[in-house]
């Protein structure tokens, strides 16, 4: 497989150079970005979210009995065996100092990175997802020099100073036309993904992540009773044309226009996030998250290169978008 230079979240969870060395028995998003057999065999120089939820060096040293995304980035057995110097999302969603010290009574993703026992020991003035997932004891003590996700979703104070050379996640959701129109006082994901054109044209009582990522132009044209994560992926213009009966994360992200036209036997996150308008036009052999959350209408004009690894099919689909022209290559 050709080495792919992870271009941030756009490239998806999935295939930083040599990520899929060997066979990747995809268990679905539930297993996180999923730590397929031998994923972290050597050292994994975490390239950010692209490398996914998953793997600061030696993350999966033991056995990862993935309890599902609900448990966050999931803190499988022994995940935090040592001190985990947060190197990206892997640590982000889940485990700053002592996060999982006791038992993690996972109250679901909707609850953020979900405030495992003791997470909110002090006062959590959740300033959006960035702070949300992160604020394990002392994480935000003082100035937050965003280490990973915090940076991912875009590096707090001074984020939009001048031009934003989108490096990582923030580049992904954010830069919808006119995202930075003015100043983006957005220091956190909640504000982050949301500022699509006109998104903050009123008052956005950010209810955390749910409200956080929801964003494309016109998204909040009305009332968005964002209940849970589904609020996030939902964003393509007109996505919420009807009513979106949020069925939770698995089903949640997936409800883009027409997605559930028939019946969608939710195959987990892989199938979950895949959704934007027209995404399922024809047959979408769910190629994973990369293909999932992203083909927002209009992005083609930006000439972004998005790569998707066929989780279920095992094929690699390279999608080259330039001036509206799409080129698909199976490998």
Give the pLDDT confidence score for residue 330 in this predicted structure. Answer: 29
pLDDT tens figures, 51-94:
233 333 222 222 222 222 222 222 322 222 222 222 222 323 33
Give the pLDDT confidence score for residue 261 in this predicted structure. Answer: 26
Give the pLDDT confidence score for residue 155 in this predicted structure. Answer: 30
Q: Rounded to an integer, what distance in angstroms lies between the CA atom of residue 35 and that of residue 25?
A: 9
DSSP state of 180: T
Q: Rounded to an integer, what distance in angstroms lies between the CA atom of residue 248 and that of residue 265?
A: 14
Give the pLDDT confidence score for residue 302 in this predicted structure. Answer: 24
Counting every residue, how long is the chain?
331
Give the pLDDT confidence score for residue 278 in this predicted structure. Answer: 29
Q: What is the mean pLDDT of the chain?
A: 28
Q: Which two tokens stand for residue 292?
A: 């999932």
pLDDT above 90 covers a percentage of the chain that reads 0
pLDDT tens figures, 148-206:
323 323 233 232 222 223 322 233 233 322 222 222 222 232 333 333 323 332 222 22
Give the pLDDT confidence score for residue 112 in this predicted structure. Answer: 29
Q: Which two tokens stand for residue 15?
A: 């295939």
Which three-class secondary structure state does DSSP give residue 133?
helix
Q: Is residue 172 classed exposed, middle or buried when 0-12, 13-18 and 19+ CB atoms within 10 A define those classes?
A: buried
pLDDT above 70 covers a percentage of the chain that reads 0
Sorting pLDDT into bands at 50, 70 and 90, what band is 322? very low
pLDDT tens figures, 224-244:
223 222 332 333 222 222 222
pLDDT tens figures, 111-127:
223 232 222 222 222 22
Give the pLDDT confidence score for residue 233 in this predicted structure. Answer: 31
Q: How many CB atoms lie within 10 A of CB 122?
A: 11
DSSP per-residue string spanning 231-281: HHHT-STTTTSS------HHHHTT--TTTTSS-----SHHHHS--STTTTS
Q: Which two tokens stand for residue 225?
A: 């009773």
DSSP state of 222: S
Task: Name the one residue in this structure whose structure tokens are 């959740």.
Answer: 126
3-state DSSP percent of the chain in helix, strand and coil, to 5: 20, 5, 75
pLDDT tens figures, 134-146:
333 222 322 222 2
Average pLDDT estimate for 35-52: 27
pLDDT tens figures, 192-229:
333 332 333 222 222 222 233 333 322 222 222 232 22
The model carries a pTM of 0.12
Average pLDDT estimate for 245-261: 30
Give the pLDDT confidence score for residue 4 in this predicted structure. Answer: 26
Average pLDDT estimate for 285-297: 28
């Amino acid at each position: 497989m050709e080495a792919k230079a992870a271009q941030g979240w756009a490239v998806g969870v999935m295939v930083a150079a040599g990520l899929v060395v060997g066979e990747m028995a995809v268990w679905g998003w539930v297993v996180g970005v999923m730590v397929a057999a031998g994923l972290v065999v050597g050292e994994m120089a975490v390239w950010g979210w692209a490398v996914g939820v998953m793997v600061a060096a030696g993350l999966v040293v033991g056995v990862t009995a993935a309890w599902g995304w609900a448990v966050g980035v999931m803190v499988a057995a022994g995940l935090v065996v040592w001190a985990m110097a947060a190197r990206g999302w892997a640590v982000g969603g889940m485990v700053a100092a002592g996060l999982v010290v006791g038992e993690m009574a996972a109250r679901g993703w909707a609850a953020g990175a979900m405030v495992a026992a003791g997470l909110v020991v002090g006062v959590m003035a959740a300033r959006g997802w960035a702070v949300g997932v992160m604020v394990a004891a002392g994480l935000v003590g003082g100035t937050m020099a965003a280490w990973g996700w915090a940076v991912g979703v875009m590096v707090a104070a001074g984020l939009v100073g001048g031009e934003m050379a989108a490096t990582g996640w923030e580049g992904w959701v954010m830069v919808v036309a006119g995202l930075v129109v003015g100043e983006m006082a957005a220091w956190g994901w909640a504000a982050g993904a949301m500022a699509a054109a006109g998104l903050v044209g009123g008052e956005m009582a950010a209810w955390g992540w749910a409200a956080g990522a929801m964003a494309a132009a016109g998204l909040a044209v009305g009332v968005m009773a964002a209940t849970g994560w589904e609020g996030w992926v939902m964003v393509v213009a007109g996505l919420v044309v009807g009513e979106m009966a949020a069925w939770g994360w698995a089903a949640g992200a997936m409800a883009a226009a027409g997605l559930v036209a028939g019946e969608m036997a939710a195959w987990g996150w892989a199938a979950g996030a895949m959704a934007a308008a027209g995404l399922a036009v024809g047959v979408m052999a769910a190629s994973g998250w990369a293909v999932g959350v992203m083909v927002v209408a209009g992005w083609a004009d930006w000439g972004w290169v998005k790569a998707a690894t066929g989780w279920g099919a095992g094929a690699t689909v390279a999608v080259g978008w330039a001036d509206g022209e799409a080129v698909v290559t199976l490998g």
